[in-house]
Amino acid sequence: MPWRVRTTLDDRPGILAEVAQACGHAGLNIVSMQVFGVADRVTDEFVVDGPLDEVAVAEVFAKAGGTDVAVTRIETGTIVDAPTRYLEAVHQVLEEGRDVEEVLRELLATEPPDVADYAGHDVLDLVRRGGTTLRISRAVPFTPAERSRAQALLSLVSDAGADLPLIAPSAFHPIPLVREAALADIDAVAALHSRCSVETLYARYQTPLRMPMTTRFARRLVVPEHGVALVAQAGLDVVGHAVVEPGEPRWTAQVLVEDAWSARGIGTMLVRQAAATARAGHADALTFLSAGSNDALLRSVGSAGFVARVERRDDVVHITVPLRG
């Protein structure tokens, strides 16, 4: 069974040979090793494989001269060198849309909590680009190298797309277009939501939306589990977004337009493309959903050439347009 062992050793010649000899006598095979230097002592991380339990493994390293020994069980697939794991983590966040906090917790092995000689959790505070703090805790103390690596990774993925305006209204462009969304739109869609007012977001989602949104949520908006996502693009900015979902007995759509682009035809373009998408899926009707009174959406539906049936169910307005006949 593989174990990850973290221990502090004297920084002197021959200490690693003594540890290796102790592991050999105990039937432990050293699979990998990392060294984290601190002043006149070093914190070493070993991955060992053998028939012992965590308490017995800890005793082997303690008798070999190790102090602050911490042993945790790991999966065989996690035995990869640290630089490769961190590079893969950057790819997962930027290209696959994974949440950076989730990725960091995997890299720093915050699970499982069953640690021999548990002495309390250590806390790691990482600073995001916007000044907010991401806090991660772990039973095994963090080394200075791990703290630096984690902060560097968070800074790197946070700075990606930093040249895009996140708060200021996007500049007008004379020829906006509507197209199907793609993974490359994750940051732009998140930026769109950050520029929208609370009222606009509530009309779209029928619930208060917490900002800033996570990468995972933005990914679901551009690649929904069911249906198709649309974006309205003006220049380099996404200024509108819609999701069209199939269902029985009718398809549904929800539309969001940036406040600064309201009454400029973006909503009408999204309504038309949403209807075309539903019609291509053989839908007979399409229902646009919105919270409360949404005159802008009603005007967009009318401007798109539809005669709609409007119903209110609880606090949600259903605007249904026929797609056949």
| pLDDT of res. 239 | 93
- Give pLDDT tens digits for 97-149: 788 888 888 888 776 544 455 555 778 888 877 677 888 888 777 877 788 88
Residues of the chain with CATH 3.30.70.260: 2-78
| pLDDT of res. 168 | 46
Residue 167 banded pLDDT, cuts 50, 70, 90: very low
Query: 132: how many CB neighbours lie within 10 A of its CB?
Result: 10
Work out the percent of the chain whose per-residue pLDDT is above 90: 24
Can you identify the CATH homologous superfamily of domain 2-78? ACT domain (3.30.70.260)
- Give pLDDT tens digits for 233-264: 988 889 999 999 998 778 999 999 999 898 88
Report how far residue 100's alpha carbon sits from residue 90's, in angstroms, rounded to the nearest whole number.
9
Check whether 268 has a pLDDT greater than 70. yes
| pLDDT of res. 138 | 80
From the number of C-beta atoms within 10 Å of its C-beta (0-12, 13-18, 19+), residue 137 rates as middle
- Contact 156/219 with Cβ under 8 angstroms? no
Work out the percent of the chain whose per-residue pLDDT is above 70: 88
- Contact 222/185 with Cβ under 8 angstroms? yes
Average pLDDT score over the chain: 82
Mean pLDDT on 66-84: 74
Mean pLDDT on 50-59: 89
Residues of the chain with CATH 3.40.630.30: 177-322
- Give pLDDT tens digits for 188-229: 999 999 999 888 898 888 888 776 778 888 889 999 988 999
Report how far residue 205's alpha carbon sits from residue 190's, in angstroms, rounded to the nearest whole number.
14
> Locate tokens 């679901």: which residue?
220
For 48-52, which contacts have Cβ atoms below 8 Å and span 24 or more sequence positions? Answer: 48/2, 48/3, 48/5, 48/23, 49/1, 49/2, 49/3, 50/1, 50/3, 50/23, 50/26, 51/1, 51/27, 52/26, 52/27, 52/28
User: Hey, what are 249's tokens?
Assistant: 């007995």
> In this structure, what is the dihedral angle of CA atoms 224, 216, 87, 5, given to the nearest 10 degrees?
-130
Mean pLDDT on 2-26: 88
Check whether 54 has a pLDDT greater than 70. yes
Residue 40 banded pLDDT, cuts 50, 70, 90: low
Which among 125, 175, 130 is positioned nearest to 151, based on CA atoms? 125
- Contact 143/38 with Cβ under 8 angstroms? yes
Check whether 165 has a pLDDT greater than 60. no
Report field, pTM of the whole predicted structure over 0.85: no
| Sign, CA torsion 86/74/35/106 | positive
Q: With DSSP H G I counted as helix, E B as strand and the rest as coil, what are the percentages for the chain, rounded to 5? A: 35, 30, 35
| pLDDT of res. 85 | 80
Mean pLDDT on 156-173: 52
| pLDDT of res. 130 | 67
Indicate the fold that domain 177-322 takes in CATH: Aminopeptidase (3.40.630)
